[in-house]
Structure 1
Amino acid sequence: MTIREGTIEEVVAASQHVPELVNPYEEPVYHERFQDRPHLILVAEADGKIIGFKVGYDRYKDGSFYSWMGGLLPAYRGQGIYQQLTAAMEQWAAEKGYTHMLLKTRNKLKPMIRFCLSQGYYVSGFSEHTDPMESRIYFRKALGVKSQNANAK
């Protein structure tokens, strides 16, 4: 398995195979979000195919880097691959001078919530929706800070 910079096309194709991503974004949305903004597209590749990805960009122009989209094919979960993608994005962002990583997830995505907490992110906000499972939980992490729970699963 290797992690490398990828393309929007690769991520759009891979996102079709991540069950949590219902109606995943198409290419135009990525181009719209990235307009003249620093961004990073990372992909995990194994056996000649994209098995996971993590996409982020400078959304707020406030020194934070926003981890916008990510996913891993179900057959490759539990192997630390998403953790490696996250660590690679955090390292890249820190090297570029960003001070914090931001991300959000939905209340229904319990494995992602646990993952964020295990990687040293803390809850920084909540956006309520009529369906509580669709409510958003916002996370934040200072870059350059090692998680005490980084090896916890």
Structure 2
Amino acid sequence: MNANANVIIREGTIAECIEISKNIPEFSNNLYDESTYHQRLFNTQHLILVAIKQQELVGFKIAYDRYRDGSLYSWLGGVLPRHRQDRIASKLAIEQEKWALKIGFQSIVLKTRNRFRNMLIFALKNGFLIENIEIKENIDDNRIILRKNLIIDK
């Protein structure tokens, strides 16, 4: 799909995403097993992207048609800490947006938590707007729902 700055973005597999997840600190307490991935992606349009740098899996992004309302739900993704300055998350997001537009999605929706400030900042810098907040007992666990419109109304 994209081979920019020695990073290759291509469609990937659930197994590759699980392998990458094991080395991402933010997932250390919440690793999903393979059956969870299959349940989420079963019988729905979805996209699994992986990033490869120097033949090493360094990041991934998974999205699917969760709400069936014209939005693509960007469910899960991450980049290995030592590669976070390589703009890999941006490259994955760009490829995801291209695919979403090609398929006909009108927007991308994602959820993050207060504790994942880097993800929140990344989303805001990349054109997402806060749409809603789910309040949890611990403020760090509040879910922040963001949306980026892909099709501009004229």
Please report the TM-score for the alignment, with normalisation by the length of structure 2. 0.92
The one-letter amino acid paired with 2:116 is L
Q: For the residues of structure 1 that align with 2:30 and 2:116, how far apart are their CA atoms?
A: 16
Match of 1:7 in 2: 13
> Structure 2 residue aligned with 1:58, among 48, 57, 65?
65
Q: For the residues of structure 1 that align with 2:122 and 2:9, how far apart are their CA atoms?
A: 19
Q: What 5-or-longer segments of structure 2 have no aligned partner?
A: 1-6
Match of 2:34 in 1: 27
Match of 2:22 in 1: 16
The alpha carbon displacement at 1:144 in A equals 4.5
Q: For the residues of structure 1 that align with 2:105 and 2:95, how far apart are their CA atoms?
A: 14
> Structure 2 residue aligned with 1:133, among 120, 124, 140?
140
What is the percentage of aligned positions where both structures have the same residue?
41
Matches within 5 A, 1:4-153: 4-21=10-27, 22-144=29-151
The alpha carbon displacement at 1:16 in A equals 0.7
- What do residues 65-116 of structure 1 show as CA deviations (whole Å, max 9, x unaligned)? 0000000000001221100100110110010000000000010111111100
- Matched residue SS, 1:11: helix
- Matched residue SS, 1:25: coil
Please report the TM-score for the alignment, with normalisation by the length of structure 1. 0.92
Over 3 Å off, 4+ runs: none
Q: Let me know the Cα RMSD of the aligned residues.
A: 0.9
Q: For the residues of structure 1 that align with 2:46 and 2:87, how far apart are their CA atoms?
A: 23
- Matched residue SS, 1:130: coil
The one-letter amino acid paired with 2:21 is S
